[in-house]
């Protein structure tokens, strides 16, 4: 079994060379970030249920979107010299304008300073967790176990905690490889399998299924976080 897991992990390791030009997708993938601006991204209140958003009228959603985008523009920016999205950790989420169903994606992330907290929302549900594993305030929440798991899951869901601790030190780049099919998610952090095809629970209403399509969201608070090389492939 162990040998099978190792082989499977290797087979699904990043498909692009490490020396590939920044923000240039590998074959079969599309870049969600062009390295220059936030085209294709909107602001979104991270605590807002996708089920509630689906019930809004066109005018209601437009009004909320105007507010969310104004907050986005205060706290999210692009470092064009480095080709990186920058968040000061104090605002709404950065969400794709497009919705996705089943997908496979990659994203590089860097926590600039200690004591940050971040994550990647899948179809607007929290989240593939990003920790500072040395944050003393988050020991009680399991930060020392490492990033790359579905932290907002039910306590009895094995996807809540990473299979291995795979974080690079704060100030270093990390890479997520995420695959979502239906309600099940697999995650690799720095080429190591941290979640193996586990259900993502509905944080907003545990009794409801996930919506079939939704946004990819970048969430940050507590520290400057940077993102780059964000690629996605939609799956049939």
Q: Which helix (H) or strand (E) holds 42?
A: strand 41-44
Helix/strand/coil for 197: strand
Per-residue pLDDT tens over the stretch 169-218? 999 999 999 999 999 999 999 999 999 999 999 999 999 999 999 999 99
Looking at residues 222-229, what average pLDDT do you find? 95
* Residue 222: per-residue pLDDT: 87
Closest C-alpha to 226, from 93, 115, 22, 88: 88
> How far is the CA of 16 from the CAs of 26, 39, 85, 167, 191, in angstroms?
6, 23, 20, 20, 12
Per-residue pLDDT tens over the stretch 77-123? 999 999 999 999 998 999 999 999 999 999 999 999 999 999 999 99
* Residue 91: per-residue pLDDT: 85
Q: How is 119-135 classified by DSSP, letter by letter?
A: EEEETTEEEEEEE-TT-
* Residue 46: per-residue pLDDT: 84
* Residue 171: per-residue pLDDT: 96
Residue with tokens 């969201």: 217
Strands (E), 125-170: 125-131
Per-residue pLDDT tens over the stretch 137-181? 999 999 999 999 999 999 999 999 999 999 999 999 999 999 999
* Residue 26: per-residue pLDDT: 94
CB neighbourhood size of 169 (10 A): 11
Helix/strand/coil for 198: strand
Residue 75 is classified by DSSP as H
pLDDT band at 236 (very low <50, low <70, confident <90, very high): confident
| Architecture in CATH for domain 2-234 | Sandwich (2.60)
pLDDT band at 19 (very low <50, low <70, confident <90, very high): low
Q: What is the value of pTM for the model shown?
A: 0.91
């Amino acid at each position: 079994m162990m040998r099978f897991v190792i082989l499977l992990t290797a087979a699904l390791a990043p498909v692009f060379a490490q020396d590939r030009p920044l923000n240039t997708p590998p074959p079969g993938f599309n870049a969600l970030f062009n390295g220059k601006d936030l085209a294709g991204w909107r602001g979104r209140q991270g605590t807002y249920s996708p089920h509630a958003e689906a019930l809004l009228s066109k005018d209601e959603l437009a009004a909320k979107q105007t507010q969310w985008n104004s907050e986005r523009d205060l706290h999210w920016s692009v470092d064009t010299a480095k080709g990186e999205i920058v968040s000061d950790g104090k605002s709404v989420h950065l969400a794709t304008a497009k919705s996705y169903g089943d997908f496979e994606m990659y994203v590089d992330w860097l926590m600039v300073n200690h004591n940050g907290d971040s994550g990647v929302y899948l179809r607007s549900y929290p989240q593939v967790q990003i920790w500072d594993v040395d944050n003393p305030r988050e020991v009680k929440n399991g930060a020392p176990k490492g990033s790359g798991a579905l932290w907002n899951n039910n306590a009895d869901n094995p996807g809540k905690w990473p299979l291995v601790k795979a974080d690079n030190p704060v100030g270093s780049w990390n890479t997520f490889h995420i695959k979502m099919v239906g309600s099940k998610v697999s995650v690799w952090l720095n080429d190591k399998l941290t979640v193996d095809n586990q259900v993502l629970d509905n944080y907003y209403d545990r009794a409801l299924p996930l919506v079939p399509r939704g946004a990819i969201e970048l969430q940050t608070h507590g520290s400057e976080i940077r993102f780059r090389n964000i690629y996605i492939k939609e799956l049939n």
